[in-house]
Amino acid sequence: MLKKRASGSAWSWLWFALGAAYFIIPLYATVDFSLRAKRGELSLLAYANVLKDPRFGETFLFSAEMSLLTIVTGIILIVPTAYWIHIRLPKLRPVMEFITLLPFVVPAVVLVFGLIRIYSHPPFMLVSSPALLVAAYLVLALPYLYRSVDTGLRSIDIRSLTEAAQSLGATWPTIIIRVILPNLRASILSGAFVTFAIVMGEFTMASLLVWPAFGPYMDLLSSSKIYEPSALAVISFALTWGTTAAIQLLSRRIPGQAPMAGLK
Amino acid sequence: MAFLELNDVRKVFALQTAVDNFNLHVEQGEFISFLGPSGCGKTTTLRMIAGFEHPTTGQIRLGNNDVTARPPNQRNMGMVFQSYALFPHMSVADNIAFGLTIARTPARETKKRVGEMLALIKLEALADRYPYQISGGQQQRVALARAIVIRPQVLLLDEPLSALDAKIRDSLRVEIRAIQRQLGITTIYVTHDQEEAFSLSDRIVVMNAGRIEQVGTPFEIYNFPRTAFAASFVGTLNVFPATVVDAAAGRIMVDNIALTTEAITTAGVGQQINVALRPEMISLNESERHDGDNQLTCVVENITFRGSIVRVQVRLGNQSLLVDEFNRPDLNVPQTGHQIVLSFPRNACLVLG
Ligand SMILES: Nc1ncnc2c1ncn2[C@@H]1O[C@H](COP(=O)(O)OP(=O)(O)OP(=O)(O)O)[C@@H](O)[C@H]1O
Ligand SMILES: [Mg+2]
């Protein structure tokens, strides 16, 4: 028995080490490479170059702005929709799940060409509006946002909470804002984080709709520089991890939720 | 004109009629229980009163207004759910304050009334806890406070105690009734537990398959059940078919055995009726026998001790009868297989429609 368990744990460690190596070796190599901009010594020259380039700040801010817009629009559209489907139209749930899978089936290139075709003629002249970019990002983010909200809704007794609030006099908007949203904070945060990561790294839509976004900038940099792309990769990796950590911290502080386990 | 009226209410779902021909008048301050087996339409009726379901036909009136079409958030009814349904992200005090906040009650009054409620349910010490940090019984008390702090016109409870264990269930039951009496709230309480319904209610509505079987005080329901269903659902009962021999004199035949009941008004000579007999109304004791009582000779089949009572199963022709005797040290316990004489007064026979 003991022996078996010991060998079992040896196996799991082996698999863990293999998995970790798969992530850590390329990361280590990238960090190492990014520090060798000066011949013969380790330096932060590549990082300084990246940060000096005004386009870094501009594109990063632009993409961050777009991702925030996407997240906010997404929450406004998806939370009430998912909520309504849960309590009033449960039959539509499979349909909605299928719709949220479409971005995986339709490649981004196809989607963006479709958007350009439709929205470049009157009456819809939207190709040059950031609204179209946000809308396109929203399509990409839909599976992640919808699914995390859906999971959040499943984990609470949404019907009884709604009825309790109703019997206490609450109207629909009040219920969504004061009862539903606060209980979805953890799932909305995780959906928002994934959306943020997707939008920050997105290349196809931004470049075909010709926006100065972070994804196309990374691409441009990697085709014209040697060490700087690695430095940029490390920077965006650090930012990504920073955001995850922030979200973990935030969601742990949400009141009314047992630590880790969430709701019973 | 009653305070709360359900007139000819009927609710049809896609596949079945959940509630039909429902007529009930509730007086102000009354405590009413809906009692019936699973699926008989208790919850559906309660939800129609609350406004969560709309009657297919019929009318619901509250305090002289037709509220049939009024949305639930304008009915001013407090609701307590089996699953507590406390808002998980709010503290106990905030949960109780929710309805007052919605009504834009001034902060000072809100605080005062929440404090009163916390005192009423004896949970002042837990005001700042979150629902997941308190026990089920405490959660349900908070849910009760949250429902009554808005001074609802009607308090609706749907099996509020069935998720709790027996001890807490009993103490909370007493507490609910005490609070209801103290505040005089008109209350409708759904349960499938007859003990709960009997100990709490002013009147009980016995339901079966979407219809009302009988409405009455606990005393009436227990002692004078009007239908076979009401009789058998409430307590233990011996029910057997009989033929009327003489309606006015109450003479009937059960398997060629002549019995006497009170005068029968619901059936004529030669008709088949059902007769019910409570086990505790039958006596094995000669000293309790009176003139005019029915007397039967039976064979003892089985004897079970059940704490305060002894249950004796006897055979009478083709029927099996249950007899309950109080367990006393001087009880003459019969023996299995022996013949005994049992007796019961003529008014113990309930003639069922
Ligand atoms: N939303 C609905 N759609 C279709 N049928 C329903 C719906 N709600 C209830 N029913 C049906 O109506 C009948 C009455 O249900 P109801 O929930 O009122 O029973 P109940 O007396 O509360 O039972 P229980 O004691 O099990 O809670 C049941 O047969 C149920 O299946
Ligand atoms: Mg029910």
pLDDT tens-digit readout, A215-236: 888 888 888 888 888 888 888 8
Q: What kind and span of H or E run contains B239?
A: strand B238-246
Q: Which residues contact A124 (CB under 8 A, 6 or more apart)?
A: A118
- Among B204, B232, B260, give the residue marking a domain's end: B232
* Helices within chain B (DSSP H only): 42-50, 92-102, 107-120, 136-148, 166-183, 194-200, 218-223, 228-233
Contact yes or no for A202/A194 (Cβ under 8 A): no
The residue whose CB lies within 8 Å of the most ligand 1 atoms, and thus the one to mutate among B10, B22, B40, B158, is B40
Place of tokens 């003991």: A2
Give the amino acid at A144: Y
Distance B65 CA to ligand 2 centre (A): 27
Q: Give which of A117, A142, A145, A132 is closest to A205, Cα–Cα.
A: A132
What domains can you pick out in chain A, each with its CATH number? 30-253 (1.10.3720.10)
Contact between chains at A157 and B83 (C-beta distance less than 8 A): yes
Q: What is the pTM of this model?
A: 0.81
Contact between residue A192 and residue A149 where contact means Cβ atoms under 8 Å apart: no
Least CB–CB distance from B88: residue in A165, A171, A183: A183
CATH code, domain carrying B315: 2.40.50.100
How far apart CA B14 and CA B17 sit, in angstroms, is 8
pLDDT tens by residue, A75-122: 999 999 999 999 989 899 899 888 888 888 888 888 888 888 888 877
**CA nearest to B129 within chain A:** A256
Q: A62: how many CB neighbours lie within 10 A of its CB?
A: 18
Give how far B38 is from chain A: nearest CA, Å: 20
Where does a domain end: B232, B250, B268? B232
Those residues with Cβ within 8 angstroms of residue B327's Cβ, 6 or more apart along the chain or in another chain:
B305, B307, B308, B309, B310
**pLDDT at res. B161:** 92
Mean per-residue pLDDT for B72-90? 93
The answer to whether the Cβ–Cβ distance between B99 and A160 falls below 8 Å is no
Number of domains in chain B: 2
Cis peptide bond prior to A255, omega within 30° of 0: no
State residue A36's pLDDT score.
85
CB B97 within 8 A of CB A185: no
Same domain, B94 and B30: yes
Q: Domain containing B256: what range? A: 236-351
Do B166 and B37 fall into the same domain? yes
The atom number, within ligand 1, closest to the CA of B45 reads 18
Distance CA B92, CA B129 (A): 6
Task: Compute the C-alpha angle B238/B241/B242, nearest 5°.
Answer: 115
B220 and B123 within one domain: yes
What are the DSSP calls for B140-189, one per residue?
Answer: HHHHHHHHHTT--SEEEEESTTTTS-HHHHHHHHHHHHHHHHHHT-EEEE
Mean pLDDT computed over B57-84: 93
Domain boundary (B232, B255, B280) is at B232
Residue A263 has a pLDDT of: 36
User: B41 CA to middle of ligand 1, Å?
Assistant: 6
Chain B residues within an 8 Å CB radius of A157: 83, 85
B75 and B144 part of one domain: yes
Residue A5 has a pLDDT of 63
B68 and B183 together in one domain: yes
Residues B333 and B213 in one domain: no
Length of chain B: 353
Residues B88 and B212 in one domain: yes
Give nearest CA residue, ligand 1 atom 20.
Answer: B39
Predicted confidence (pLDDT) at residue B159 exceeds the cutoff of 90: yes
Give the CATH number for residue B199. Answer: 3.40.50.300
B298 membership: H or E segment, kind and range: strand B294-306
Residues with a beta carbon under 5 angstroms from ion ligand 2: B 43
User: Same domain, yes or no, for B248 and B174?
Assistant: no
Residues B242 and B215 in one domain: no
Torsion angle of C-alpha atoms B17, B22, B28, B33, degrees rounded to 10: -60
Position in ligand 1 atom list of the atom nearest CA B19? 14
Q: What is the ipTM of this complex?
A: 0.81
Q: For residue B99, what is the nearest residue in chain A, using CA coordinates?
A: A168
User: Are both B198 and B259 inside the same structural domain?
Assistant: no
Sheet holding B57-62, edge to edge: B17-26, B4-12, B57-62, B65-66
From the list B79, B88, B98, which residue is nearest A263 (CB)?
B88
For chain A, the distance separating the N- and C-terminal CA atoms, rounded to the nearest angstrom, is 34
> Is B47 a pocket residue for ligand 1 (Cβ < 6 Å)?
no
Please name the residue whose Cα sits nearest to atom 12 of ligand 1.
Answer: B18
Mean pLDDT, chain B, whole residue set: 90
Q: What is the mean pLDDT of residues B166-170?
A: 87
Same domain? For B78 and B8 the reply is yes
- Residues of B with a Cβ under 8 Å from any A Cβ are 50-52, 71-79, 81, 83, 85-91, 98-99, 102-103, 130-132, 143, 146-147, 150, 156
- Which residue positions in chain A have pLDDT lower than 70? 1-6, 251, 253-264
Do B158 and B295 fall into the same domain? no
